[in-house]
Chain A
Amino acid sequence: MMNIISDAFGLVFTTDVMIAILLSSIYGLVVGSLPGLSATMATALLVPVTFYLSPIAAIATIISASAMAIFSGDIPGALLRIPGTPASAAYTDEAYAMTRKGQAELALGAGLWFSALGGIAGTLSLMLLAPPLAEIALQFSTYEYFWLAFLGLMCATLVARSSPVKAIVSMLLGLMISAVGMENAGGIPRFTFGLPDLLGGIEPIPALVGVFAVSELMRAMVSPEPPQLPRRKFGSILAGQLKLTKKYWWPMTRGNIVGIIIGVLPGAGADMAAWVSYAMSKRFSKEREKFGTGHVEGLVEAGASNNASLASGWVPALLFGVPGDTITAIAIGVLYMKGLNPGPTLFTEKASSMYALYIIFILANIIMIPLGIWMIRGASFVLRAPRAGIMPVILLCCAVGSFATGNSLFAILTVAAFGIMGYVMEANGYPVAAMVLGIVMGTMFEQSFVTSLIKSDGSLLPFFERPVSAVLAALAIGALAWPLLIWLWRRARPMPVRA
């Protein structure tokens, strides 16, 4: 055992692995902070580089770049209200509100600190609980995924600040957008208007960039320059984080646990973890009214959650070659290429490589803190720069980033169209975050429902019969009926008093 661990340290602490971790971390930080370039994109672009690296260095680049990119997606979200990655979209409004209150360093510091802690918690789950967690993941068939997607969609009303009705309308619009294309169960092209570009559907990334970033730019054009934030030194980024950890230890732990569970499930990744955790945080908070006005609690829980899910997403990938999310899907290819074939034998025959992988996870989450501080300090200059100088650069980033997702001009048109849509929606009080949720979850929601019905020959019973499915169904229906019951109870109670 000690032998294996010292072997593992020997594998990790070599010059090439260290350089790989450092460079890919910086790369991940930069890519993640650009609107339109997601953590998945950052990872995919690294694949050709890994051809030329040793196995451990190749895996190290992917682990470090993806962890950094998920964190640094928070930076433009907090500073400009433009989420860098879909995983940050859930709490962008909250973080931006904190910046407007002059708490940018607290918001970003919380993002950094709790991302790092979440990443370490996720790694511990990978080290200690991989086999039992993987068994849970294997219990999930399409019936269970249907309820999961259902629960995810219900977050729409919780996340939004506006009226629940408008939030639901936005979410349904998102669902309708997710119906475009032929990536549906029937393989039938829908709403494509004969355009080949629409056959693949609307990609979430350009849509996200459009509704958040471009609509924000349009608002900036028509509104007067906001009062300049008082010019002051950017305070310490980590100060106060220990206090927050003590104050919000339970939301943080809950975020870690939810993130780990969602990460383990194939098909549900960091994006969903962030949404669910933010919604849970709001639902169970003692200070619910503060949410949406720049309250750090939701950031703590969601930030802890999305990075925890990133590490636990490797569990099914390493044990069964089943990707937990799009990032691990790419990582599996690299593992095969480097002779580290996923499977239980990886944990026995190649144990030293496995421990090396754990060490890299921990290392990446530790160096995230100094590198992240450096990145936040650099990025904080945008708060001082004149708006007329910043906005065109962002627009350029959006266009380049979206073009990069498919090398096609169509993505840029998508960004523009969604920008206009986002602007109109925001102007009328419809939350765009709820629509993004609909787009992200819609495919899984429909696919799991339709394929379940095909498998059950049209019977709805298996949705409630299977043990895990029954629990999830009870949760979903309970959450749906709860507000109604409360309302009925409140209505019914005064009656006897009066009588």
Chain B
Amino acid sequence: MTRITRRAFAASTAAVATSAVLGLRPSHAQAAYPSRPIQLICPWGAGGGTDATARIVGGLLEKEFGQPVNVINRTGGSGVVGHAAIAAAVPDGYTIGIITVEISMMHWAGLTELTPKNYTPLALMNEDPPGIHVKADGPYKTVKDLADAIKAAPPGKFKCSGTGQGGIWHLALVGWMQAMGLPANQVAWVPSNGAAPAVQDLAAGGLDFCTCSVPEARAMIDAGKVRSLAIMAPQRAALFKDVPTLTEAMGVNYSTGAWRGFAGPKGLPQPIAEKLTATMKSVYDSAAYKDFMASRGFGTVWNDAAGYAAFMDEADKAMGVAMKAANLAKT
């Protein structure tokens, strides 16, 4: 048995510390990345949409790399905990994660210091725009009918829901109101525990409309209980061809969306990041990924590392504006 002397321990610690400071890594790690299993952190719970996306991409990455890619759900703190875990990981390419639209929102609300700048962006792979949904047997046939009624009513008379207070669909509503030149509080927001209870409450007659994504309302639309009037996107969704965009329906040019992308901690070595982005591109182009996303009704978009960084920058600024308008920002 080898005894670890104090001096030898100190020496090895110093060596490790030095190599860490100089950014040196054992050379084989770079030569044949990945040479061991990769952790893919998901900040949201098992069974949800983000988890499903992480798992399908993880499974396909595993095939490409020939190394296991383990999806780990680090939940808690409304996403803060998992996002922090990705940002704090060792930047060696063996811990990456799926980051979601909340990263561009939480810091404005003062929940965390983390911003998109704390990550090395790798690829944007999914975005879902919000729709505007009403009760199927309600009085509004087009989004213009609804908008006119909202304009005519006193602030707060109309009630809308789709997610919690300050969530992405709440900000979509605020953005739409502002694009029409109305105050942010023209429509009262009713917080809910996610889209499903909100859509159910819409069908039960408890709300005037909902601004969740179209796939989230899909089953109720198919059941004839709920109707989509428009989506807040630059073009129509492939799965819902007959739902017009806001621009087409009423000439209001406003679009937003909930997105999911992949990122590593800040300071990921360039060759590793490039390899990850390139591999994710082939995952994105694979039929397995396309089929999976289409079956769930999730939208697919592609942005490489640079495009994704620019996208997040813009999204972050837009969220700041919307959250300040809605009085949800602390910073």
Give the B-binding residues of A (Cβ under 8 A).
41, 43-45, 47-48, 51, 137-143, 181-183, 185-189, 196-200, 266-267, 316, 319-323, 326, 329-330, 332-333, 336-339, 341-345, 405-408, 410, 443, 447, 450-451, 454-455, 457
Contacts and interface: CB of A to CB of B under 8 A. Distances in A.
Contacts, number: 169
21 contacts: A41-B46, A43-B47, A137-B200, A183-B78, A186-B165, A187-B328, A188-B165, A189-B111, A196-B81, A197-B76, A200-B75, A320-B203, A322-B199, A322-B200, A330-B47, A405-B75, A406-B73, A406-B74, A408-B81, A447-B192, A454-B159
A320 B220 contact: yes
Contacts of A337: 52, 292, 295-296
Given A196-B80, A266-B196, 9 more contacts: A51-B59, A139-B204, A197-B77, A199-B76, A316-B200, A320-B200, A320-B220, A322-B200, A454-B190
Given A266-B197, A267-B197, A457-B156, A51 B56 contact: yes
B222 interface: yes
B223 A343 contact: yes
Contacts of A332: 219
A326 B45 CA distance: 11
Nearest to A468: B204
Nearest to A339: B295
A45 B292 CA distance: 19
B197 A333 contact: no
Counting from the closest, the 3 A-B pairs by CB-CB distance are A321-B219, A187-B165, A343-B222
B164 A197 contact: no
> Most chain-B Cβ atoms within 10 A of its Cβ — which of A43, A316, A450, A454?
A454
A447 B165 CA distance: 11
Interface in B164-223: 164-167, 188-193, 196-197, 199-201, 203-207, 218-220, 222-223
A138 B202 CA distance: 9
B144 interface: no
Nearest to A41: B46
A115 to B, nearest CB: 23
Interface string B305-331: 000000000000000000000001000
Nearest to B216: A321
Interface size class of B (residues with CB under 8 A): 35 or more
B55 interface: yes
Contacts of A405: 75
Interface in B132-162: 156, 159, 161
B75 A343 contact: no
Given A142-B201, A185-B165, A407 B74 contact: yes
Contacts of B161: 451
Nearest to B199: A322
Given A138-B200, A142-B206, A266-B196, A333 B224 contact: no
A318 to B, nearest CB: 9
B81 A344 contact: no
A269 B14 CA distance: 56
A341 B219 contact: yes
Given A138-B225, A200-B78, A320 B45 contact: no
Given A197-B76, A200-B81, A336 B200 contact: no
Contacts of A450: 191
Nearest to A198: B77
B81 A320 contact: no
B48 A333 contact: yes
B47 A329 contact: yes
> Most chain-B Cβ atoms within 10 A of its Cβ — which of A197, A332, A341, A407?
A407
A322 B55 contact: no
A494 to B, nearest CB: 49
B188 A407 contact: no
B52 to A, nearest CB: 6
B46 A45 contact: yes
A321 B74 contact: no
Nearest to A335: B219
Contacts of B204: 138-141
B75 A407 contact: yes
A266 B201 CA distance: 10
Contacts of B37: none
B80 A455 contact: no
> Most chain-A Cβ atoms within 10 A of its Cβ — which of B51, B73, B219?
B219
B8 to A, nearest CB: 31
